Structure 1
């Protein structure tokens, strides 16, 4: 999962704390990532598998963080991105881009 933020343009509208939850329906969602961001700018990448629990970045750092081609992605019909807090206690949020990647099976 990749999310694009721009703190320089959005200021207090920029998310600070995120929760990514997944499940088969809204009633059984479980948190699979809890993320703290500090003035994010650009694309931020998050592995949604059952093993990797850290924020990751593309290319070489995928291997450095233990993410490999053999990592098993989560199985879910519902993925929820919950914005828990914003920078400067903002009340609304701006997410400028959101992309999901999945295995081709």
Structure 2
């Protein structure tokens, strides 16, 4: 086995979150979401997108466009969506045009990122930020595979991760106390309950 083969074999079980996180205060939030796909072949469902193994694939089964949808229970400040593809192994199943949409409900989904891919192999990052570079504050994210290489019909995606900003830190106790203290003569009579 060559060094290159050793490296590829070792990558199938890497802790990707440490490598892919866009910033120090970002975290992978895919486990906090419900994932759905537009279609899948038997045995190659949505669970293959989240198993942390790049040697397994989600394979669509149907007409294009193919979609991967991510639904959160609460609004998240999402920064990017990363997915793994491999043209060398998948050829016509490899996407060559994709876009990402974000929104708070189906009726307000907007396209925030579009990419054309030329025989990709590895992680593709789709930014989910607004025009000023701030994370989008959304309930839903959708990756849409518009076209495949060589006009392939079905698609393969090997892994999918979504990164969001960590929640803002809780105020220190002294700051919390100052939010609830009354001061001055006009408010002093509201300071106690009868």
Normalising by structure 2, we get a TM-score of: 0.43
3-state SS of paired residue (1:75): strand
For residue 118 of structure 2, the aligned residue among 38, 47, 51 is 38
CA RMSD of superposed structures (Å):
1.2
Q: Distance in 2 between matches of 1:17 and 1:96?
A: 16
Which segments of 5 or more consecutive residues in structure 1 lack a partner in the other structure?
53-70
Compare relative contact order (CA 8 Å, sep 6+) and give the higher one, 1 or 2. 1
Q: TM-score, normalised by structure 1?
A: 0.78
Larger Cα-atom Rg:
2
| Partner of residue 135, structure 2 | 73
Give, in whole Å, the separation in 2 of the partners of 1:17 and 1:100: 19
Unaligned runs of 5+ in 2: 1-80, 168-194
2:163 paired residue number: 101
Q: Kindly tell me the number of residue pairs found equivalent between the two proteins.
A: 87
- Over 6 Å off, 4+ runs: none
| Structure 2 residue aligned with 1:92 | 154
